[in-house]
Amino acid sequence: MKENKLKAKDFITIGIFTALVFVVEFAYMMLGFIHPYVILSYAVAIPVLCAIPMMLFYTKVEKFGMITIMSVLIAIIMFVTGMGWIGAPLIIAAGVIADLIAKKGNYKSFKSTVLSHGVFCIWVGANYIPLVVTADDYKQDMIKGGFSEDYCNTLFNAVNGKTIALILLCCFIFGVVGAFIGKAVVRKHFEKAGIV
Amino acid sequence: MRKFGLDPRTKLFMIFAISLIVMVNSSNPLQWGIRILVTVIPIILMMLEGKFAAAIRFAVLYAVAVLLQIFFLSSESSGMISALITGYCSIFAQFMPAMITACYAIRTTKINDFMSAMQKMHVPDSVSISLAVVMRFFPTIKEEYGYINDAMRMRGIAMGGGKVSKMVEYRLIPVMFSCVNIGEELSAAAVTRGLGAPIKRTSACELRLTAMDYITMAVFVLLTAAFFASKYIG
């Protein structure tokens, strides 16, 4: 009996894993306050770290829409915590595409899961977009608003229109790398325990 | 009668308005004033609903961050240490309003109020149920993490032997285990109580917007408008 409609149980699963991913992400984001270059490392570390809960999530997904809803939730949470709405369309778009890719592999094939996770991880890059779109304004604002000039220069040397493509690519690549690591971890711990 | 409390929709609206404000940096005293005002309001509301400890903690943190930022640091400050402090303070002062409001909304909204408000706003079940779970789950994750940390410490695995990968593995994996299990229980409980039944759900809590809700919303509309007017026009 295969039903394609999402049920209450699926919504709860989505909620739990979104919370987990967000907690992991938030914990790492706290480190970004230390130095601007740590902010750059988000694009590498968050896809890899979040891959562990995400790969477990992928084993639970078998219907279209679950990854999309997750991306909508992430967009909402990002908005509420003050990351801005400029990245939201990109986050949701990444979610839909990731969902479509995973669906192509019927949510079972490892290859499409890996690709799908890579695309999904572009949401991490979406958080940089407010920095780029409004770069000049933002920099002026930041200096006027009390950020030190050093901090701003370092940040904007690292993040600008040229590097944003690189950052997004980085998210994708490390999303793929993370998927392999995450899969290994899931296999090591969860499959033995019979949770998957 | 019900205790004092705002409608969840008003709280959502507050979050919305404040997120708009915190995204833009304030550069003159009026904008700072508005920014501080929108932080103070949720703190007062939090006290009105009896969450004194959290309210005071936030108030002190925010005051320290703002004072440090205004009096000690400027664009002339340079060097590693002051850049670090500036970074901390500005990010704190920048995002605290949103965090405080989000925290206020989450701590003071009961899940059934939230669901009923979502239903009234015609948000699809997929989003409202998942969001409700997310909201409910943050404290659970924190609690579980505490237990796991204790257990690990008892075995002498305080920092995972200094290896980052071990640290992640020893913390994250057990948390995920317990979360998955809690999720199973949660969905069993919810389905038993009729979540996901194919008919329209009714709700025991009747939500009504009161005068207080309208006043709060009006205040926030005015503040947001003033903020952006002084930013982009004046």
Long-range contacts, A71-75 (Cβ 8 Å, 24+): A71/A95, A71/A96, A71/A98, A71/A120, A71/A123, A72/B127, A73/A14, A73/A15, A73/A18, A73/B127, A73/B130, A73/B131, A73/B134, A74/A18, A74/A21, A74/A22, A74/A123, A75/A123
Enumerate the H helices of A61-159 as residue ranges: 66-80, 88-104, 110-120, 122-126, 129-133, 135-144, 149-158
Residues B129 and B80 in one domain: no
Chain A environment of B86 (Cβ under 8 Å): 146-148, 151
User: Looking at beta carbons, which residues of chain B come within 8 Å of A48?
Assistant: none
Name chain B contacts of A20, Cβ cutoff 8 Å: 141, 175-176, 179
Residue bearing the bigger pLDDT, B220 or B80:
B220
Band of pLDDT at residue B88, cut at 50, 70 and 90:
low
Q: Is A65 on the interface with B (CB under 8 A)?
A: yes
Of A55 and A108, the structure prediction assigns the larger pLDDT to A55
Q: Do A69 and B130 touch (CB under 8 A)?
A: yes
Of B233 and A67, which is predicted with more confidence?
Answer: A67
Provide the number of structural domains found in chain B.
2
Give the contacts of B26 (CB within 8 A, at least 6 positions apart): A145, B32, B34, B35, B227, B231
If asked whether residues B71 and B160 sit together in one domain, one would say no
Same domain, B16 and B75: yes
Q: Do B102 and B212 fall into the same domain?
A: yes
Instruction: Give the per-residue pLDDT at A196.
Output: 62
Chain A residues within an 8 Å CB radius of B75: 143-144, 146-149
Residue B105 shares a structural domain with residue B20: yes
| Partners of residue A85 in chain B, C-beta under 8 Å | 19, 23
What ipTM was estimated for this complex? 0.74
B167/B222 same-domain check: no
Residue in B73, B141, B173 nearest the CB of A23 = B141
B106 and B13 in a common domain: yes
Cβ pair B131:A15 closer than 8 A: yes
Letter for the amino acid at B29?
P
pLDDT at B130: 85
Q: Is residue B201 part of a domain?
A: no
B75 and B141 share a domain?
no
Q: Rounded to a whole number, what is the distance in Å from the CA of A142 to chain B's nearest CA? A: 7
**Cα(A59)–Cα(A191) distance, rounded to whole angstroms?**
10
- Rounded to 10 deg, the angle between the B8-23 and B80-108 helix axes is 160
Please identify among residues 88-127 of chain A the ones whose CB lies closer than 8 Å to any CB of chain B: none
Q: Which of A145-159, B171-185, B196-210 has the lowest mean pLDDT?
A: A145-159
**What's the pLDDT score for residue A1?**
37
Residue B220 lies inside a defined structural domain of this protein: yes
Provide the shortest C-alpha distance from residue B208 to chain A (in Å).
24
Residue B42 belongs to some domain of the structure: yes
- pLDDT higher than 80, residue B45: yes
Residues B125, B164, single domain; the answer is yes
Note whether B105 and B44 are same-domain residues.
yes
Chain A window 138-167: which residues touch B at a Cβ cutoff of 8 Å?
138, 141-151
Q: Which domain holds residue B104?
A: 8-110+208-232
* The pLDDT value given to residue B223: 87
Please write the tens of the pLDDT for every residue from A7-39.
Answer: 778 888 888 888 888 888 888 777 665 555 666
Tell me which of A39 and B67 has the higher pLDDT: B67
**Structural domain boundaries of chain A?**
8-193
